[in-house]
Amino acid sequence: MSDALAAPKNISPLIRAGRWAFLLTGIWYGHSKLQSLRVSDEPLRRAAIEKATREHHQQLQEREAVNKQGMIDLAKAAGVQVKQ
């Protein structure tokens, strides 16, 4: 039980410096790796955005055509003269 309450031991300055060096090296490596992956994936990202935009516009056009036809059918059912 006395080990749990004992004062912490001092860690060697060399070990502390090594820990900080490894931490900073890891952060630098992660940043550089992320940058290189961003550059290589940029064309794929742009293609995906363009595809999603095209699909969205197509869906909007289809929805607009369906809505227009629905309004024409509703007008005919209500007995209103429809201009086409």
Question: Could you read off the pLDDT of 27-58 as tens digits, one per residue?
Answer: 999 999 999 999 999 999 999 999 999 999 99
Q: Is residue 6 part of a domain?
A: no
Which amino acid is it at 76?
A: K
Residue 82 pLDDT: 75
Print the domain residue range for 54.
12-78
Which amino acid is it at 70?
A: G
77/73 Cα distance (integer angstroms):
6
Q: Is residue 4 part of a domain?
A: no
| pTM (2 d.p.) | 0.52
As for how many domains the chain has, the answer is 1
Q: Is residue 74 part of a domain?
A: yes
Residue 6 pLDDT: 75
